[in-house]
């Protein structure tokens, strides 16, 4: 499993990149708004992220028609070679993905919740598909169960996007809210988990690690004073 950071916060991205396990970044309009992002600076901000991360950086189109999404996608893809255009799973998004993929522009189809949506995204030529886990849980549904279904269904077939020769479509477990979500997504075989920085920190921590470290430190003090 690869880890992407689900954030537009440059400090978080720099810190996570320094840990050595960061394979990419996903952003969305809400995450950009959360860091006080301005429309006029959006492309520059994506460029700054692309300069930090040696891996795919998803930047989302907020257009609603296929022609506008394609126009957005071309502009976003021109920012840096590692930009992936994030496109919502809807009819106009599928049509735009079909066009962008044919031009060799990688697309991450987002706001994906069901197996039929995921298969349509893969057929349209998406390089990545992002089933959302937490938002399903938010409406008292089984987010992990839906992710498991998507992973199983996509792995039943040979979906090779037009954008990257020989590479299969990859599933990004998104809307991840806990380290347990990551555990379960890894056991299912999701290719990638995109996680908020808070979840990434929780993935590192365990109370037994803290307790063991504390005991080692106390014993080392005894050694120094012996």
Catalytic residue set: 86
CB 156 within 8 A of CB 150: no
Binding span for ligand G3P by CB under 6 A among 61-69, 119-127, 131-139, 216-224: 131-139
Piece of 116-124, 127-135, 157-165, 204-212 that binds ligand G3P (CB under 6 A): 127-135
Q: How many CB atoms lie within 10 A of CB 108?
A: 29
Q: Which is nearer to ligand G3P, 35 or 160 (CB)?
A: 35
Instruction: Count CB atoms within 10 A of the CB of residue 214.
Output: 10
Part in contact with ligand G3P (CB under 6 A); list of ranges 37-45, 74-82, 128-136, 180-188 = 128-136
Cα 65 → chain centroid:
23
CB of 207 to ligand G3P, least distance (A): 25
Rank residues 1 and 162 by Cβ distance to ligand G3P and give the closer one. 1
How many residues would you count in the chain? 226
d(CA 140, CA 9): 30
6 binds ligand G3P (CB under 6 A): yes
The residue among 139 and 223 lying less far from ligand G3P, judged by its C-beta, is 139
Cα–Cα distance, 143 to 134 (Å, whole number): 6
Q: Does 134 interact with ligand G3P (rule: CB under 6 A)? A: yes
Residues 7, 28, 61, 184: which binds ligand G3P (CB under 6 A)?
28
CA-only gyration radius of the chain, Å: 19
Exposure of 53 by Cβ count < 10 A (0-12 exposed, 13-18 middle, 19+ buried)? buried
Q: Judged by CB under 6 A, does residue 174 bind ligand G3P?
A: yes
Asked whether the beta carbons of 166 and 160 are under 8 A apart, the reply is yes
Q: Which residues contact ligand G3P by CB under 6 A?
A: 6, 26, 28, 132, 134-135, 174-175, 194
């Amino acid at each position: 499993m690869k880890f992407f950071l689900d954030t537009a916060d440059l400090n978080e991205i720099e810190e996570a990149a320094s840990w050595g396990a960061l394979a990419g970044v996903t952003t969305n309009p809400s995450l950009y708004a959360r860091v006080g992002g301005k429309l006029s600076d959006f492309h520059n901000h994506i460029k700054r992220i692309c300069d930090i991360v040696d891996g795919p950086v998803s930047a989302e189109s907020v257009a609603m028609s296929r022609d506008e999404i394609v126009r957005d996608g071309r502009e976003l893809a021109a920012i840096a070679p590692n930009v992936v255009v994030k496109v919502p799973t809807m009819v106009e998004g599928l049509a735009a993905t079909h066009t962008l993929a044919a031009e060799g522009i990688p697309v991450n189809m987002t706001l994906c919740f069901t197996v039929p949506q995921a298969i349509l995204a893969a057929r349209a030529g998406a390089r990545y598909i992002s089933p959302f886990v937490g938002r399903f849980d938010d409406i008292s549904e089984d987010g992990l169960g839906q992710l498991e279904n998507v992973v199983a269904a996509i792995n039943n077939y040979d979906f090779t996007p037009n954008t990257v020769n020989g590479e299969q479509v990859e599933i990004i477990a998104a809307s991840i809210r806990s380290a347990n979500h990551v555990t379960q997504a890894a056991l299912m075989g999701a290719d990638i988990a995109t996680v908020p920085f808070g979840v990434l920190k929780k993935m590192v921590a365990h109370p037994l690690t803290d307790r063991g470290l504390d005991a080692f430190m106390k014993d080392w003090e005894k050694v120094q004073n012996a």
